[in-house]
């Protein structure tokens, strides 16, 4: 018995760090490359990825990040996040991985939908004009579920 192919994904991005944003962008880009419909739903600190004033300044999360394989205390020292962000950005550039703003623009250009969570937008006192142009709308969780109906939901 063969499994039904995935035809639609809705990806939730809730973290505002390099390591919290890139997985969702990579999944959305891969979906679009495979002809799979994709929507991105940015909530809580994930809104930083689509915030005009913040999306070019996303940093690596270094405090409590077990993937870095060093003590939490070290991750909290001044400058460590900046150094790790610079290191990761250089590595990604060498691999031709676009910056977050470039990646989001590229994904939006493929027809993926970009949506901001209304509750999070309200929580942080934001408005549509605070967000990048590629954001199609600010929607409620219920509206997100309507858009996601019939597809897979991925939470990164």
pLDDT in tens, 5-25: 999 999 999 999 999 999 999
Rounded CA gap, 43 and 66, in Å? 23
Q: What is the dihedral of CA 115, 121, 123, 127, to 10 degrees?
A: -170
Query: Is position 127 within any domain?
Result: yes
Query: Cα–Cα distance between 134 and 156 in angstroms, integer?
Result: 20
Residue 82, domain member (yes or no): no
Q: Map tokens 């809104």 to a residue.
A: 47
Looking at the domain assignment, is residue 90 inside a domain? no
Domain of 13 in residue numbering reads as 8-62+99-155
pTM of the model: 0.90
Q: What is the CATH number of the domain that holds 148?
A: 3.40.1260.10
Contact 10, 152 (CB under 8 A): yes
Q: Is residue 135 part of a domain?
A: yes
Tokens representing 69 are 């394989």
82: pLDDT strictly greater than 90: no
> Is there a contact between 53 and 130 (Cβ–Cβ < 8 Å)?
yes
2 falls within a domain: no
Average pLDDT over residues 60-88: 78
- The pLDDT tens digits of the residues spanning 111-128 come to 999 999 999 999 999 999
Tens digits of residue pLDDT in 22-55: 999 999 999 999 999 999 999 999 999 999 999 9
Report yes or no on 93 lying in a domain. Answer: no
Q: Indicate if the pLDDT at residue 1 is higher than 70.
A: no
Phi and psi at 29, nearest 5°, equal -65, -45
Is 68 inside a domain boundary? Answer: no
Number of structural domains (the chain) is: 1
pLDDT digits (tens, 9 = 90+) for 68-81: 777 776 777 787 88
Res 97: pLDDT: 92
Residue 67 forms part of a structural domain = no
DSSP reduced 3-state for 105: helix
Distance between CA atoms of residues 45 and 104, nearest Å: 16
Using CA atoms in the order 137, 140, 143, 147, what is the torsion angle rounded to 10 degrees? 60
Query: Which of 67-71, 89-93, 147-151 has maximum average pLDDT?
Result: 147-151
């Amino acid at each position: 018995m063969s499994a039904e192919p995935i035809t639609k994904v809705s990806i939730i991005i809730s973290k505002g760090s390099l390591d919290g944003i890139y997985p969702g962008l990579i999944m959305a880009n891969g979906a679009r490359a495979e002809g799979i419909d994709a929507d991105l739903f940015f909530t809580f600190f994930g809104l930083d990825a689509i915030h005009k004033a913040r999306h070019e300044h996303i940093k690596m999360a270094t405090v409590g990040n077990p993937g870095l394989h060093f003590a939490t205390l070290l991750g909290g020292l001044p400058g460590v996040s900046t150094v790790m962000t610079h290191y990761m950005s250089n590595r990604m550039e060498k691999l031709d991985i676009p910056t977050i703003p470039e990646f989001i623009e590229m994904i939006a250009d493929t027809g993926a939908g970009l949506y901001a969570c209304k509750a999070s937008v309200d929580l942080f006192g934001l408005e549509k004009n605070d967000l990048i142009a590629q954001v199609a709308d600010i929607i409620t969780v219920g509206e997100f579920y309507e858009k996601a109906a019939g597809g897979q939901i991925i939470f990164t």
